[in-house]
Structure 1
Amino acid sequence: MPANAPYVDALHTPAPSRTEDRHDADVSAVLLGQLLDQLLIGVILADADSRLRYANREARRILASHDGLAEGPDGLRASTAASTRRLRHALALTGLAQASDDGASAARYLSLPRSDPSMRAPLLLTFSALPGSPGRTAIFIDVPEHRHPVSRGAIAEVFGLTPREAALAALLADGHELRDCAGLLAMGEGTARNHLKHLFEKTMKHSQGALVAQLCRTVGPYR
């Protein structure tokens, strides 16, 4: 059984009538769960009563930490009573937007303080109504301090970079200064600047900030 077997049913469409179609639906639900487990962001499906219907691997890790978001006996809970009310209000509003088929207001955002807010930035939650799934809301959870390294192979393929250019680009995207990148790659700072010039040309960007933003947008949040 999948690790989140109690929630896999939330990924099913209405049960087909034929046995072979039901089998295909079961296989599709399991495969979809496995795909969602590859994401580096948390993904939750919750119902109108704030109860958890599905959680991918990253979301289960977040919930198990009880650091800003957790699953209680009465549904999803935040670290404080006030934050829990805000969380459930956002779920209710998203459900109303879904019921009214108001696509413009379907997505909502909420930051939730952590158990020790002085040490960590809040969780950022994005709520999205699911067309055709009454009472179900998708919640995407971003943990700010979890910086995920940019794939050198992916950006090399997308932008036609050499291995050294891709290595420099990945370090820049991870927040390193150019001088530090040169040291980490055992190259002179002048060589690093030359590679950076090539990166600007190949990505059609004109500043280091724009380059990093483009790299982070291009490579998806997957494992």
Structure 2
Amino acid sequence: MQPDIGREAMMRRIVAVSSRLADHVARPPAFRQERWFAGTLVMAALILLLAGIRGAGAVPTGIDVRVLASGAKFIGSSVGGAAVLIRDARTGELLAEGVTAGGTGNTKRIMREAQPRNRVLSTPDAAKFHAVLDIDSPREILVTARGPLGAPQAMAEASTRLWLLPGVDRTAGDGVLLELTGLIVAPVAPAFHSAARTGETVPLETRVMML
């Protein structure tokens, strides 16, 4: 189980505040009267800290995952999409899974224009997988993509590790972008059901395209 960093910090602060309150009560009456206002503020802070602990909990945190074919466009519905798994990087717990869906993106932006560092490649219609994770502390995750599902003979896989912070969405720009390398090679001729005589030359035709 992941340690709850926020609650641990709150508990340390509560212990410190409690020690100050105990020291304040042990002082002489005259001194306590002089410090009454400060003590009231300390007590109010303690109440707020306790309320914060009771209200602390999992925070919905969004994440978008897009899968790009190397030298080509986004892997989307036209090729079956790419399977996406999001796991806890330390424990292996499965947090979310799904398939990228949508279009292949803007050809000009992805393949024809110059690509400066950190340029956003996706457009609103580009294929993605969206998930919302409920987390209550910073969490390191492992994001894995495998595809294209519509061409199992050309299946490729890529993954990345990153940290998610509660309430800080990873949806801006391209979100989490993974790149798959490979080609889809599909036989065209001869047909699967055709037969050939011994010694006969058989022409072979295939269709090769980007993922």
What is the TM-score with the length of structure 2 in the denominator?
0.24
- Higher helix proportion: 1
Larger Rg: 2
TM-score (norm 1): 0.23
